[in-house]
């Protein structure tokens, strides 16, 4: 997840780092207040009377965490909007059907073509993965390419992913769906334009 290989994964990794920084800022601030309270001499008078107490309680005790959390929330919403499967140039659609314990992938551009546990995509192009399940709830996740999305029986969820360069990327089901879910893995192979065309024509890149 922290070694992204595509724009969606980069946005998610960036959000993770921003959330970590914001959470760390709140933690450091609270620990600093705690240290001041513990180390303050019992005989020491309040720093600035009633006005000073109001500043600490309302301005810093409430204002700082609320402003930080609000900023993190807004940033998360902006990133989430960017990750939605909007229309895009060169868009490719593939299908992913989960079952215990395998994945079947279909390719509307090549009717009748299907692969087991290996998803083929073109590198450098946005891909909409239409995800569903044949039996129970599973989860489709390729950490280096995008976030995860549940595969729900009788329902199709659409996930946008994109590989910046040709390569092989590990995928897995990140949802407990029975005793064998730990081995419920798959592979994503991103091809250059020529290899993608060969795959669609003959099922082999």
The domain limits of the chain are: 7-83, 92-202
Does pLDDT of 161 surpass 60?
yes
What is each CA distance from 116 to 60, 74, 107, 186, 187, in whole angstroms? Answer: 56, 40, 12, 8, 10
Look-up: residue for tokens 């309040």? 46
Asked whether residue 44 carries a pLDDT value surpassing 70, the answer given is: no
What pTM was computed for the model? 0.74
Q: How far apart are CA 192 and CA 6, in angstroms?
A: 15
Q: How far apart are CA 57 and CA 157, in angstroms?
A: 45
Q: What pLDDT score was predicted for residue 63? A: 76
More confident residue, 53 or 16: 16
Peptide bond into 101 cis (omega under 30): yes
pLDDT exceeds 60 at position 50? no
Among candidate residues 144, 159, 13, 28, the one with its CA nearest the CA of residue 83:
159
Q: What is the pLDDT of residues 23-42, one digit of tens each?
A: 888 888 888 878 877 887 66
CATH of 92-202, one of 2.60.40.420, 3.30.300.30, 3.40.1710.10, 1.10.150.120: 2.60.40.420
Least confident of 51-60, 70-79, 192-201: 51-60
Instruction: Give the torsion through C-alpha atoms of 186, 187, 193, 196, to 10 deg.
Output: -50
């Amino acid at each position: 997840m922290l070694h992204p290989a595509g724009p969606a994964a980069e946005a998610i990794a960036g959000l993770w780092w921003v959330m970590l920084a914001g959470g760390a800022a709140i933690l450091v601030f609270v620990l600093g207040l705690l240290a001041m309270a513990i180390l303050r001499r019992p005989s020491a008078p309040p720093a600035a009377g009633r006005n000073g107490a109001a500043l600490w309680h309302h301005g810093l005790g409430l204002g700082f965490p609320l402003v930080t959390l609000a900023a993190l929330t807004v940033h998360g919403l902006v990133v989430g909007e960017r990750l939605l499967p909007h229309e895009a140039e060169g868009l490719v659609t593939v299908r992913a059907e989960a079952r215990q314990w395998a994945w079947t992938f279909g390719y509307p551009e090549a009717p009748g073509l299907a692969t087991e546990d290996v998803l083929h995509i073109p590198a450098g192009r946005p891909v909409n993965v239409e995800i569903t399940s044949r039996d129970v709830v599973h989860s489709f996740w390729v950490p280096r390419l995008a976030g995860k999305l549940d595969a729900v029986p009788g329902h199709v969820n659409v996930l946008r992913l994109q590989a910046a360069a040709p390569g092989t990327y590990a995928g897995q089901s990140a949802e407990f769906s029975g005793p064998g879910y730990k081995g419920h893995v798959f592979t994503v192979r991103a091809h250059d334009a020529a290899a993608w065309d060969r795959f669609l024509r003959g099922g082999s890149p």
